[in-house]
Structure 1
């Protein structure tokens, strides 16, 4: 999901195979940290490591990394030692077996030091572990490695969980999702840039602690960006920086135009260095300066002379009428740039970043364009467009401005007038404006209260269809949508399309739902419609998680989270990404990020959306399971399911009852099955059949039910299945089965059915770390997580994470089993 490579761990695996390894990543990406982690872990495992670090001072004397090494500064060598003797000293240190030469920034070593490295590799049997930047390895360093054929491990950009962990460590406290998403969007997942932006936000007052949580309290755009720019450009030739500045000012342009503006050689080098991203694989792909903080910072730093130069270059290429970052130009340039990967099951991280970057840029440009149009002519039509553009980020001053200055225009029509009245009533109530101001504006413009608009009709349709889905009648929802006449108006189109995805999904037509959602996501991406992309990525993520493919959902969740949560006038459906993301991360053991997401729902009113309330309960239960609190999670889901069923919200009830991690008592199973409308909520049929088999047996029925599942259960549910199978098979005189044996017996491919982590735990091949063992022993003695945290001087969340991993490795479902089913002396 996020930085899926354990960089140091993967590099060590190559070393264990006797292969040199390069850790590749741009400066500030964390490659040095990964190398240090490798050194620490290799040393702990009994491997001797000698480390050299390149100097980045341009005029540093030759051999500086060697001369400054502690071995060569010893009395044995004196102050001025010939190179052969230096090599002798280092070679003696690397003599024998299990030695590694670790070199930080191999591609920045001076030629003389490279000669030493080459000689050490030739004279000893040591392996090489080195960091290099993200560009293609060239020059002397490449020749030094000729014939050794090193493996490579790349340092991936941070995603939401990694960024949250980085911020939590720096702030010594939890960050809010808004702050995390804003810094991730602006940094592009670059750790050094994210930290520079965090410091800038704190310095400017844009980030501050609110109720114990670090949140975004002001516009990040106003924070100083110099540190971020410096982190990304300090080693770039001035010509490259000038080219980046030019493209930052123009905004997204097709690759062919960008190459002509900067020169092909500079363009290619900037792409190779990762400072430019091309959103598609051809000349029509849009070019973005990466990360966005670099583009914004470079534009701010332009001198008047550079601004005149850039203006002349751009106008010579595009013509005198060209305006930088024009809304129409961005729209016209895109038809295929974002859709080219949508056919893939798992879009790449580059697609995720490019999608979010282009959409957020388009939103920014669109808002600026509509604000400019409003200021030029404050008509009703321009007022409606302006308020729609800011629906996700409302501004009280905007409401007051519109109320005070809107006037009738020659292009206004009755629909515009009726829509403006709807908007003003909503916004004024939200902004605590005097209701009389709305009345006075309506009278002044002759706005007709009660006038129907196509948008109001479309929203009623969405509400009716969504209610049918919530109440377990997806077939009726589809009938309502099919009976609607005409295309819905633009602001409601995505909501109408998304509720059809829901209806198809819960009706059991999963592939049809996926095809529908992907097609409309492609359309929304081609139009750079951020709200529609957010809606469809949310439904795609939900589709994959609810149907059991949670690991495939993260690209969609990531896009939706980066685009921001719904505002007070947006359709609330995309808010589902919050509990859905929490489910995925709780199951993966990342409790801090799961809790960060769930905290976003603390102050939201969920009463009007039964499905969102059920998904939130599911996420909270998965967090309980991850902490080993299985009974608490099951109790929450059972009670929330009963509440939903009694209110007639059967879909929400089945979400809760399907994902409990227990063997249902017979009387409770009967309550569930009696409520289940099998002919209308087919999605839940396979998992409820598994629950029936777990309660009633025999073991063969359980195995068969596992074979009928669409995909993988979570670890807590998988543990229950394995334990119940063991119990049933013992009664039948049969031996227990592992997770892979269950999948094989069920006739499903590997990776489906039961969570593979249960298999690893059952095999006992993944030992507890020292800290996990310490936490488990204290929990076995009866201490709570809070008590353990106080005893070990850790945070409660850190203890929860250690407890989760310990239980998974031991193959236990709950912490209470530490006292009964774990022998610490046995390992």
Structure 2
């Protein structure tokens, strides 16, 4: 990973550079870049100046400053001829222009003026003269919200200069900028922190990152930059942002300080704490903003709060926190999030916490990704007599932290209070999570649920217990558990909450059963909001991830869902959800053949799983690492990942029913590196073990076996048996691939490649296309072989640790398309004519025809329609 750069690249400004270049080509007198501080206008101006210089122009760059503005023409001292007296204004303007033209020697002249709003009147007049009467192209930058000389304003209002408003960078550009500056990929938490704090301001982003690296809070770890704690605000940012705050009076500063400690506040609340005039003043200074409904008040930029908190005297901070807590306590009703804010304010102020807040605040702390605070508040609530709800909040905090023995002790201590209690279902959910998944004690879980049978009465309770028994029931008899749950769901009197309990658990059972398309639909319907609030939601997310991936149903939709979940989870510090989303994205990248991207997401997932892993699913990370190592020839990497997978499969550890299949898959993949024949045999043997009860896993392992070289005839028969039982698009493609190999049907292999590519499994598509090419060679069909080989090369993802497939026996015609040929073939496939392609790419029709002819020859295509 490269060292962190102090000079960050220009990112996301291609459109603006193009506008400046076009204005220059059109003969305009200049461009005026207007933007807020830190948006990158100076950098853009310099880059544009450099680009025009490379094009042959003579360039000059002038920086206006407040100091230079005290001297007439101070900013232009270097460009003004010494022979002209400063009181001869007209001669001075004319001579300056003449001197520039003389130095240019016939070249066009470009003058950049940075922070033109700071120019003195004479300098501004010179800029206007150069732009309007001397043929000089001016690139001026102006900071929004500051007074500007009328001569500069007239450039874009009267003189024809192109005004260009520079917005903050969008999210994709900011992500690219951060990773370019860091010299490597960054954890999603890093991106979220930079995005939220900088609000798209490149300068702020740079200072945030450099400050965090310098303080040791931002570290490179296993190829990924990650945060090791909440970074303090860098001194450079205090200086940059503090300028806007230093000139405020205490009355103007008051509302900004209050918001720095507890935003958002209701308008009515902050008005009582300060005054309407102070609020209006702060708004006029651009320091605070109202939401769209005009009800809540926030800081105009989050860094204002960081700077104020860092510089606020301790006693004043404590006093303001007490006032804010008292104000928030007046809210009726008091939301759980309000309770947490009040408690944090009181803790920071060293004040006592009212008892009624403790349970709600403990729950809210757990949901906010702060189980340490959740445990602290939960213990206080239990000691204060908070009862069952207090114990549940404490147990959840301990379970999140992996303190399962402590969680079980506190839950077991109140078991006698649960019969007939309103929180009986959340209690059992929490305890099943601790006993079954945390401690791996199946017998204790069964015994608990047997005792619970007598805790309540009625059909509803029996249905709820059926749902709660699912982990142990699935482990004992998967088929019977599915039948019983489906029967219960057929009850027309089933209430909504009991139906949710049953359907979410059925989704996972259906996944184990190989009914992946049904499982996906059911799990997606109940996909939880982030942060995940209960055990049921915690179980639903992996069910959706597993089933959506293995079914091959709408992978683009899955990718979009996972990206959204990851962003939301990181923002609210729901590490379990973040881990599930990241490992799902890694799997999609893996099956797309993008192994470097997959490895990046696996590092992300492992960091989150280290903080919370309810079901021991970090094993999925290790499995995919084995897969990457197997496909990139990294035997040592595969061995290391396999050992880690074996360790988490030990006794007393969470063991999902899928683990045995995935462990067999990892063993087989690792064996394939050293001995493909042995690996194929291991995978095929493992596949047959799951045939009766879990046909989906049979499909996975059998397909892996045929890719490793197992008998296509044998695998085809196996997949033909399980595919109808799975009714999944991806399994159907596995079966079609094995069948085409068994029949030695090259055309069918090529069709399978297209099916895999349409799903998003480019890795499998590439294998199928390469096998089609080899089959065409064996059949003596050179043109078709070249076409299939070119398709395989097209499906290969370069730069991810693997080489394109090698096809022996193809004649000397190169099969790889050039970048231009590939571009033209893509447009032709869209149905564009040669003339339309030529018009779009600004090429001659003859050039298009020549490139397409060569491409079709390489692809073995004789008719344009076959593209």
Give the TM-score normalised by structure 1: 0.59
Separation in 2 of the partners of 1:154 and 1:660? 53
Are positions 1:562 and 2:570 aligned together? yes
2:169 to 141, 156, 159: 156
Are positions 1:713 and 2:721 aligned together? no
Q: In structure 1, what is the equivalent of residue 366 of structure 2?
A: 390
Measure how far apart 1:156 and its partner are.
Answer: 1.3
Measure how far apart 1:67 and its partner are.
Answer: 1.9
For residues 661-702 of structure 1, the C-alpha deviation after alignment (integer angstroms, 9 at most, x for no partner) is: 979876396388358544445252565477458856867656
Separation in 2 of the partners of 1:505 and 1:258? 57
Separation in 2 of the partners of 1:683 and 1:492? 28
Are positions 1:598 and 2:569 aligned together? no
Higher RCO (C-alpha 8 Å, min separation 6): 1
Please tell me whether the aligned partners of residues 25 and 134 of structure 1 are also in contact (alpha carbons under 8 angstroms).
yes
Separation in 1 of the partners of 2:359 and 2:69? 61
Please tell me whether the aligned partners of residues 53 and 103 of structure 1 are also in contact (alpha carbons under 8 angstroms).
yes
Equivalent positions of 1:83-102 (< 5 A) are: 83-91=93-101, 102=112
Are positions 1:144 and 2:193 aligned together? no
SS of the aligned residue for 2:305 comes to helix
Separation in 2 of the partners of 1:323 and 1:120? 60
2:819 to 728, 743, 764: 764
SS of the aligned residue for 2:69 comes to coil
2:302 to 292, 298, 301: 292
Measure how far apart 1:295 and its partner are.
Answer: 1.9
Separation in 1 of the partners of 2:400 and 2:354? 21
Equivalent positions of 1:474-513 (< 5 A) are: 479=486, 482=489, 507-508=516-517
For residues 745-785 of structure 1, the C-alpha deviation after alignment (integer angstroms, 9 at most, x for no partner) is: xxxxxxx9999999xx9442499xxxxxxxxxxxxxxxxxx
Q: How many residues align?
A: 689
SS of the aligned residue for 1:601 comes to helix
Change (3 A) 1:124 1:104: same
Gaps of 5+ in 2: 1-7, 433-466, 639-664, 671-681, 805-815, 823-867
Change (3 A) 1:36 1:658: farther
Please tell me whether the aligned partners of residues 198 and 204 of structure 2 are also in contact (alpha carbons under 8 angstroms).
yes
Change (3 A) 1:513 1:161: farther
Equivalent positions of 1:394-473 (< 5 A) are: 399=375, 406-407=382-383, 409=385, 415-416=388-389, 419=392, 422=395, 426=399, 430=403, 442=413, 453-458=424-429, 461=467, 464=470
Q: In structure 2, what is the equivalent of residue 318 of structure 1?
A: none
For residues 558-586 of structure 1, the C-alpha deviation after alignment (integer angstroms, 9 at most, x for no partner) is: 5235336546xxxx454122224446788
Measure how far apart 1:165 and its partner are.
Answer: 2.2
Separation in 1 of the partners of 2:52 and 2:123? 24
Separation in 2 of the partners of 1:122 and 1:510? 70
Equivalent positions of 1:201-240 (< 5 A) are: 216-220=227-231, 223=232, 227-234=236-243, 238=248
Measure how far apart 1:204 and its partner are.
Answer: 6.9
Q: In structure 2, what is the equivalent of residue 673 of structure 1?
A: 719
Q: In structure 2, what is the equivalent of residue 67 of structure 1?
A: 76
Q: In structure 1, what is the equivalent of residue 92 of structure 2?
A: 82
Change (3 A) 1:430 1:615: closer
SS of the aligned residue for 1:84 comes to helix
SS of the aligned residue for 1:323 comes to helix
Deviates more, 1:674-683 or 1:720-729: 720-729
Q: In structure 2, what is the equivalent of residue 639 of structure 1?
A: 669
Separation in 1 of the partners of 2:282 and 2:126? 33
SS of the aligned residue for 1:7 comes to coil
Q: Which has the higher helix share?
A: 2
SS of the aligned residue for 2:555 comes to coil
Please tell me whether the aligned partners of residues 28 and 231 of structure 1 are also in contact (alpha carbons under 8 angstroms).
no
Rg larger for: 2
Separation in 2 of the partners of 1:117 and 1:710? 58
Measure how far apart 1:454 and its partner are.
Answer: 0.6
For residues 34-58 of structure 1, the C-alpha deviation after alignment (integer angstroms, 9 at most, x for no partner) is: 5555555665x64546253543436
Change (3 A) 1:737 1:713: farther
Measure how far apart 1:144 and its partner are.
Answer: 1.4
Query: RMSD of aligned C-alpha atoms?
Result: 7.0
Separation in 1 of the partners of 2:14 and 2:720? 50
Separation in 1 of the partners of 2:153 and 2:633? 50
Change (3 A) 1:631 1:392: same
Change (3 A) 1:322 1:529: farther
Change (3 A) 1:58 1:575: same
Separation in 1 of the partners of 2:504 and 2:405? 28
Separation in 2 of the partners of 1:506 and 1:417? 40
Change (3 A) 1:59 1:600: same
Separation in 2 of the partners of 1:190 and 1:504? 50
Q: In structure 1, what is the equivalent of residue 264 of structure 2?
A: 252
Separation in 2 of the partners of 1:588 and 1:152? 41
Q: In structure 2, what is the equivalent of residue 342 of structure 1?
A: none
Change (3 A) 1:368 1:584: farther
Change (3 A) 1:395 1:530: closer
Change (3 A) 1:629 1:194: same
Change (3 A) 1:711 1:583: same
Separation in 2 of the partners of 1:500 and 1:109? 72
Q: In structure 1, what is the equivalent of residue 808 of structure 2?
A: none
Are positions 1:168 and 2:182 aligned together? yes
Please tell me whether the aligned partners of residues 566 and 574 of structure 1 are also in contact (alpha carbons under 8 angstroms).
yes
Measure how far apart 1:407 and its partner are.
Answer: 3.6
Measure how far apart 1:26 and its partner are.
Answer: 4.0
Separation in 2 of the partners of 1:284 and 1:659? 59
Measure how far apart 1:556 and its partner are.
Answer: 0.7
Separation in 2 of the partners of 1:310 and 1:670? 73
Give the TM-score normalised by structure 2: 0.57
Please tell me whether the aligned partners of residues 520 and 548 of structure 2 are also in contact (alpha carbons under 8 angstroms).
no
SS of the aligned residue for 1:57 comes to coil
Gaps of 5+ in 1: 316-320, 333-360, 743-751, 768-827
For residues 472-498 of structure 1, the C-alpha deviation after alignment (integer angstroms, 9 at most, x for no partner) is: 999879849947965659x99998799
Measure how far apart 1:598 and its partner are.
Answer: 1.3
Q: In structure 2, what is the equivalent of residue 365 of structure 1?
A: 341
Please tell me whether the aligned partners of residues 28 and 190 of structure 1 are also in contact (alpha carbons under 8 angstroms).
yes
SS of the aligned residue for 1:27 comes to coil
For residues 157-189 of structure 1, the C-alpha deviation after alignment (integer angstroms, 9 at most, x for no partner) is: 5668447626735xxx98766566555544445
SS of the aligned residue for 1:50 comes to strand
SS of the aligned residue for 1:145 comes to helix
Q: In structure 2, what is the equivalent of residue 682 of structure 1?
A: 728
Change (3 A) 1:75 1:597: farther
